[in-house]
Structure 1
Amino acid sequence: MPVYQFPAHLPAGVSAAAQTMPGVYLSPRTVSVEIAPPRTGTPVFLGVGGIERATCLDGRSDIEKTLAKATGLAAYAIRGFFANGGQRCYLLPARGDGAEGVGESDLAELEQLDDFDLVCAPDMAALLPPEQLARAHKRILKWCAQDGLRFAILDGPRTSDQLDNYRKSLARELRGEPSGVASFGAGYYPWLNVARSRPLSASAEAAGAGQVLVPPSGHVAGIYSRSDRNNGIWAAPANDVVVGVLALDGVGSGAGDPQAASAANFNGLRSFRKRGIRVWGARTLSDDPSLVYITARRLLQAVARRLEQVLAPVVFEPNSPLLWARVNRIVSTQLDALYRSGALAGATAEDAYFVRCDGDTNSPQARAQGQVVAEAGIAAVAPAEFISIDIRIGDNQLAVSQQVGG
């Protein structure tokens, strides 16, 4: 992790002019400021009924007091998030067009937050028919793909027949969109049977006495958070026990069919004798072999967020070989830390990553436009091929983009 040096304040009673006075010498001092990496495994729950404004919940919050106000199934999903190892999340009130599930006002409010990397919307799966749910999910996926820094954990409808209709509708919705859009989300199925803690709302369905059926995204988001902390973001959030679940929604009668999850590119949840209920899959919604792994997509996102953070101090630096060398050093430090943590494939660091910021990447045309261009690549453990990262600094802005393959 890089340490940046900032000028220290002058000692009390010594003016800046004293530095130029004969016989007066000040020893330069610096203070070290360590930049903490961006937090991962932090979801925002969209469309939470019963709350009036964006709310952050963490270990210092009165979680139950807040959830007592929430309506629908979101409260169960959020409890599932914390039960499975989640530590921090955001709740956004339901403000979108009900027919669309997520409206412009919802997306605009998301833009105001930056301390999250996951998006969940459990109540949408309960409230919207398959066609409208697919349309809402497409909007979420496209929003996540805009800057490439967020990942959606999506719930399908409850029954296998509805899930099949959803699959066809989502395919139609994504037709014509870039193939990478579908890789910014993963779906999970079936729904979960949990203990009921309140009277059933209109969108909730009883699973038995004192029980209720809940979409799985909140519980799965907790597993993402737990896995990120314990194993690293490059480890698949799969084969982990789902805590706080009584049973999976029953197979048969069109509910919980495990084959339906696979047909829809969803990750199944399975119940194993003596091993409990576990997440049994780690794939995105994409059919592209190079974009199919959750680990590759989220690792890219974490790298991009980190590089944007640590390169921010150089945005106003003069464009010169000195700056190129500094960019090389900063980016190499980050990627080497990834390699040493086991996130990258390769017998040596040279096999695992590369960084280039020099006269070749910075053409005279790019320099004339005030841009500094760097290229980097990482060999993710999966899909076991190089992932390209493009870094552009200029016009007082910094942009990091990613592309799998090549």
Structure 2
Amino acid sequence: MSVKLATPGVYIDEKNAFPSSVVAVPTAVPAFIGYTEKTTRNGQSLVNAPVRISSLKEFHDTFGRGFIPSFQVRENLSGEGFDFEVGGKSYDVALEAKSRFLLYDSIRLFFANGGNACYVISAGSYYKKVEKSVAVVDPKDDKKPAEKTKVQVTQANAITKSALEAGIEVLRSEQEPTMLVIPEAVMLSKEDCFALQQAMLKHCGLDTKSRFAILDVYDGHSARTYDNKDVITSFRENLGNNYLNYGAAYYPWLRTSIVQSEEVNFSNIANKEFLVEILERETKETIGDGKRAEELKVEIRKIKDDNVNIESLSQTLLMSSGVYKAILDSMRTQLNILPPSAGVAGIYTAVDNTRGVWKAPANVGYASVVTPAVKITHEDQEDLNVTISGKSINAIRTFVGDGILVWGARTLDGNSKDWRYVNVRRTLIFVEQSIKAAARTYVFEPNTPNTWLLIRSMINSFLSDLWRQGALVGTTPEQAFQVEVGLGTTMTADDVLDGVMRITVRLAVSRPAEFIVITFEQKVQEA
């Protein structure tokens, strides 16, 4: 800027010696979409409203806690796979349909594995109010015909594809999230699950090009059958072929320790009358008909009392009934089977914060997990990792001495040499978005060599820092990256006349050593 010189004196004219800098954008900010206990805050709806949180406490304060699931105790007529026996009969504990929501437990798994800041989008509440017609009898005249009246009752909501898709749509207006996770996608029908996962990939690879989808395998708690009902084959055939390098899938589901023993008790059993009957039968078998048995039966019958102290009675039953303990263990085991995507998002976050987004998020321990739901061997993983379709599935495996590890780092585009690895795709997203945000400073600046020099210097400085941190490969910066901008190299005279500035950036992104081959050869003994 020129200084107006009119009055005699000394004038100061400061000039910037350095170009603007590229500020690194966040790389590990997942967005979770799912159902929550609370859907309002301060009178405002939270449905389809992205909320940023950074701890489990913030989730509790804003969205509440988990859904209270309902189970049925029933006789097992097959005599196989039962949970307990009483009087020579087998019984199992079954989770009722529409009695499971996964977001809350998945968020807990995310924070347990290194998760930090994230966005949560509520797709709706666990419950909904519906009107039902009931017959009301006049207490003063029981001979009078009952009159029907409508009352509001609360019942469990249904997880729908449209509600979860609406969450994806509102996420387009948010700039910060870099990952997309929808754990409850696997609770939909198979067709709706795959349609939603395709929408996730489209959102990441077309609508924003700045996010990465972490997917779960439908029915991923089941072992492979290698036939037309095989869970991996079904996943690959139904996922589609678009935007695959913007997502990764993990298998199998996990048996976790997220749900603690104190979170389940007899109040989770829907058919309490049957539960009381079974526990009384057990008491007769183990204790008999004495005074102690009658005292215990009195306690057992309190299960049907709505005003009983649940915690105290549950502890009493635990100390006196092996069947009751088996029922609680079964409920907890079923609730602790979770899809891995949220925990993987936590691992991405931990690796990004400690090593950088360019480090492959693999060979990393999985916290709060007892065991994978399916045991995967070396041979089993061959088809998961390398397949004709290229849709690689990352395995979660158990290794003696190392525990449970994420043992794969491929995107769903495993046949692409450009985008085969998760860290390469995410590193490019990071570099692209960082440079894009910095280049916005130069919009409407003169399209001249001076501006080109400033932009090139700015990008060179940013990439040099990444090279020194190990994100780019090369013994010198010139081998690791190249930045070109200017007339005759990236632009023509027509480009300048049209107001177009073209910048070309070439990168040598580090790739993981996925296969380490060690050759041993015997050497002849020397004299």
The offset of 1:324, in angstroms, is 1.0
Q: Secondary structure at the match of 2:53?
A: strand
Q: Check the 8 A contact 1:48/1:70 in 2, yes or no.
A: no
The offset of 1:88, in angstroms, is 0.6
Q: Secondary structure at the match of 2:256?
A: strand
Cα deviation per residue 1:335-378 (whole Å; 9 max; x = unaligned)? 11111111111222111111110112121121121111111100
Cα deviation per residue 1:109-131 (whole Å; 9 max; x = unaligned)? 11121111111111111x12333
Correspondent of 2:428 among 279, 300, 314: 300
What letter corresponds to residue 370 of structure 2 in structure 1? L
Q: Distance in 1 between matches of 2:383 and 2:475?
A: 40
Q: Secondary structure at the match of 2:505?
A: strand
- Kindly indicate whether residue 239 of structure 2 is the aligned counterpart of residue 112 of structure 1: no
Correspondent of 1:348 among 470, 476, 480: 476
What letter corresponds to residue 351 of structure 1 in structure 2? Q
Cα deviation per residue 1:112-167 (whole Å; 9 max; x = unaligned)? 21111111111111x12333222111111111112321101111122243343222
Q: Which residue of 2 aligns with 1:397?
A: none
Q: Distance in 1 between matches of 2:193 and 2:232?
A: 10
Q: Secondary structure at the match of 2:412?
A: coil
Q: Check the 8 A contact 2:360/2:512 in 1, yes or no.
A: no
Q: Secondary structure at the match of 1:210?
A: helix
What TM-score results when the alignment is normalised by the length of structure 2?
A: 0.61
> Mind listing any 5+ residue stretches in structure 2 that lack a counterpart?
40-45, 68-100, 125-157, 225-229, 271-327, 514-527
The offset of 1:86, in angstroms, is 1.3
Q: Secondary structure at the match of 2:364?
A: coil
The offset of 1:61, in angstroms, is 5.2
> Mind listing any 5+ residue stretches in structure 1 that lack a counterpart?
1-6, 8-16, 385-406
| Structural mapping, 1:3-402, within 5 Å | 21-23=7-9, 25-26=11-12, 28=14, 36-52=23-39, 53=46, 54-59=50-55, 62-66=58-62, 68-71=64-67, 72-94=101-123, 98-99=160-161, 102-103=164-165, 105-125=166-186, 127-146=187-206, 147-157=208-218, 158=220, 159=222, 160=224, 161-170=230-239, 173-174=240-241, 177=242, 181-195=243-257, 196-197=259-260, 198=263, 208-211=330-333, 212-251=336-375, 261-262=384-385, 265-290=392-417, 291-360=419-488, 361-382=490-511
What fraction of aligned residue pairs are identical, expressed as a percent? 29
Question: C-alpha root-mean-square deviation of aligned residues, in Å?
Answer: 3.2
Q: Distance in 1 between matches of 2:12 and 2:481?
A: 42
1:348/1:207 CA distance change after superposition, 3 Å? farther
What letter corresponds to residue 43 of structure 1 in structure 2? P
Q: Check the 8 A contact 2:485/2:503 in 1, yes or no.
A: yes
Give runs of ≥4 in structure 1 deviating > 6 Å: 29-35
What TM-score results when the alignment is normalised by the length of structure 1?
A: 0.78
Q: Secondary structure at the match of 1:56?
A: strand
The offset of 1:265, in angstroms, is 1.8
1:110/1:296 CA distance change after superposition, 3 Å? same
What letter corresponds to residue 48 of structure 1 in structure 2? Y
Q: Distance in 1 between matches of 2:189 and 2:382?
A: 21
Q: Distance in 2 between matches of 1:271 and 1:129?
A: 30
Q: Which residue of 1 aligns with 2:139?
A: none
The offset of 1:47, in angstroms, is 2.5
What letter corresponds to residue 377 of structure 1 in structure 2? R
Q: Distance in 1 between matches of 2:256 and 2:184?
A: 15
Q: Which residue of 2 aligns with 1:11?
A: none
